[in-house]
Amino acid sequence: LRVSEIKEGDGADVLGRDLVVQGWVRTLRLQSSVTFIEINDGSCLSNMQCVLNSEAEGYDQVESGLVTTGASVWVQGVVVKSQGSKQNVELKVNKIVLIGKSDPSFPIQKKRASREFLRTKAHLRARTNTFGAVARVRNALAYATHKFFQENGFVWISSPIITASDCEGAGEQFCVTTLIPSSQDTTDSPVDAIPKKNDRLIDWSQDFFGKPAFLTVSGQLNAETYATALSDVYTFGPTFRAENSNTSRHLAEFWMIEPELAFADLNDDMACASAYLQFVIKYVLDNCKEDMEFFNTWINKGIVDRLSDVADKDVVQITYTEAIDLLAVSNKKFEFPVKWGCDLQSEHERYITEEAFNGCPVIIRDYPKDIKAFYMRQNDDGKTVAAMDMLVPGIGELIGGSQREERLEYLEARLDELKLNKDAYWWYLDLRRYGSVPHAGFGLGFERLVQFATGMDNIRDVIPFPRTPGSAEF
Ligand code: 4AD
Ligand code: MG
């Protein structure tokens, strides 16, 4: 059994049973007649306390100091009531097998290590309470995401990672290169190329894809093609941005969830975003109780109550114009001054959700068209577009979405206005040529959601292997 199963119902169901546990040694206390070993198998936060004495088979390895923190072990024993106050049950060990020794240099010792230090040990940090809990909550959020959309009739589609289009038009794409030795004739297959002495590597990607190719910044445009065939769809996959921002909420590689709703407008989109957020937050509160209690106690005091409120209360909705007015009348000194037409900075976003609305998620809608992407549907005022961002406390922007411009002539005019090459969007324009429908969608940065749900303050600590400027090891 996994430790999580043993601990279920305080262990009452397994009392007296002969069981095997396999995991990694967290702590070890040698006393004169007994030894206590705490084993963690990753299934939950709790360790299995194992009690051994000299009668246990394999005890000599414990006595001689071979079993240390970090080692992997197999233990077999009987579940008994624990004398200690920290746990209800413990394992009275009959046999212990040391599977893998741990060198004394093992860097994850009981003394708490800083998050910065652990980032340099990303291959081992999952063996700590914090990173184990983050991984399980992240997993639960991913499961709840699929559950929400599947139960609401959405079809999951895979959007490509390599693409020639720039969805957001912000010039933040990583280029895909295919390097071959300079001596290689590009008419041959580059796969067989054997580099010669003094070869340089040359970029062959233009020939490979026929045009420059990039890592996707968003799967939205591809999702739209399927939404205009299957109705509601969603993507859930990695996306990439070469933005050189070293902040606690930006990654160069992050996962995005992008639903696209057919026969839908901005109101439907905002309703979907709110229902989704409430569903997944409720899911982790109900299904990750032990880990959430850990975050509540050690990482972000009171987070469970605040999240319960989010799951219960309606999300506030205001317009961009109202948001600007709110910021203008606030007494706050912002680094970036506010006036109608400006893009909201994270200090503004956080003020709105944290202070103006007291920690409630807020959706801001109808942004000026000049600060938003080409595909957003123009409102009748000619100045704004049917865009929406959802802001949450501690993070700022969690979701960005919009109703899409479904009218061919408006979309073409907008591409011209922005001096974008219409030919490159021929397939996207086709969707407006053949059976166009009102449709809308949004993108949610999955790591920001994990941050929001766990209260972890740095985005580098909620993805197993963070990619940021200057860091792509592991
Ligand atoms: O607001 P964004 O740029 O919107 C889009 O990409 C749309 N095409 C989405 C859509 O309508 N289908 O990005 C969406 C979300 C942001 O709100 C943010 O949560 C997250 O993606 N995000 C990032 N997360 C981590 N690191 C980054 N560098 C991020 N950039 C955006
Ligand atoms: Mg955005």
Residues 74-132 pLDDT 10s: 999 999 999 888 899 999 999 999 999 999 999 998 678 899 999 999 999 999 999 99
ipTM above 0.85, yes or no: yes
The rounded distance, in Å, linking the Cα atoms of 111 and 114 is 10
Q: Are 450 and 138 in contact (CB under 8 A)?
A: yes
pTM for this prediction: 0.95
Q: Give the model confidence (pLDDT) of 316-370 as tens digits.
A: 999 999 999 999 999 889 999 999 999 999 999 999 999 999 999 999 999 999 9
State which fold the 131-176+213-461 domain adopts: BirA Bifunctional Protein; domain 2 (3.30.930)
The rounded distance, in Å, linking the Cα atoms of 137 and 131 is 10
Choice from 397, 404, 439, 456 to test ligand 1 binding pocket (greatest atom count within 8 A of CB): 397
Q: Are 42 and 67 in contact (CB under 8 A)?
A: no
> Is the minimum distance from the CB of 166 to ligand 1 under 6 angstroms?
no
> Is the minimum distance from the CB of 395 to ligand 1 under 6 angstroms?
no
List, as one string, the DSSP characters of 289-328.
HHHHHHIIIIISTTHHHHHHHHHHSPPEEEEHHHHHHHHH
How many whole angstroms from 328 Cα to the centroid of ligand 2?
Answer: 22
CB atoms within 10 A of CB 232: 21
Q: Which of 77-86, 187-196, 287-296, 379-388 has the lowest mean pLDDT?
A: 187-196
> Is the minimum distance from the CB of 125 to ligand 1 under 6 angstroms?
no
Point out the ligand 1 atom lying closest to the alpha carbon of residue 223.
12
Give residue 198's pLDDT: 79
Q: Give the model confidence (pLDDT) of 149-160 as tens digits.
A: 999 999 999 999
The rounded distance, in Å, linking the Cα atoms of 155 and 270 is 19
> In CATH, what number does 3-100 get?
2.40.50.140
Closest ligand to 250 CA? 1
> Is the minimum distance from the CB of 77 to ligand 1 under 6 angstroms?
no
Choice from 270, 444, 447, 448 to test ligand 1 binding pocket (greatest atom count within 8 A of CB): 448
Average pLDDT of 264-275? Answer: 98
Give residue 441's pLDDT: 98
Domain coordinates in residue numbering, the chain? 3-100, 131-176+213-461
In the predicted model, is pLDDT for residue 190 greater than 70?
Answer: no
In the predicted model, is pLDDT for residue 425 greater than 90?
Answer: yes
CB atoms within 10 A of CB 261: 25
Question: In one letter, which amino acid is 99?
Answer: I
The enclosing H or E element of 324 equals helix 320-329
List, as one string, the DSSP characters of 144-203.
HHHHHHHHTT-EE-PPPSEES--SS-SS-PPBP--EEETTS-TTS-GGG--PPTTPPEEE
Give residue 201's pLDDT: 80
> Is the minimum distance from the CB of 219 to ligand 1 under 6 angstroms?
no
Under DSSP, the state recorded for 295 is I
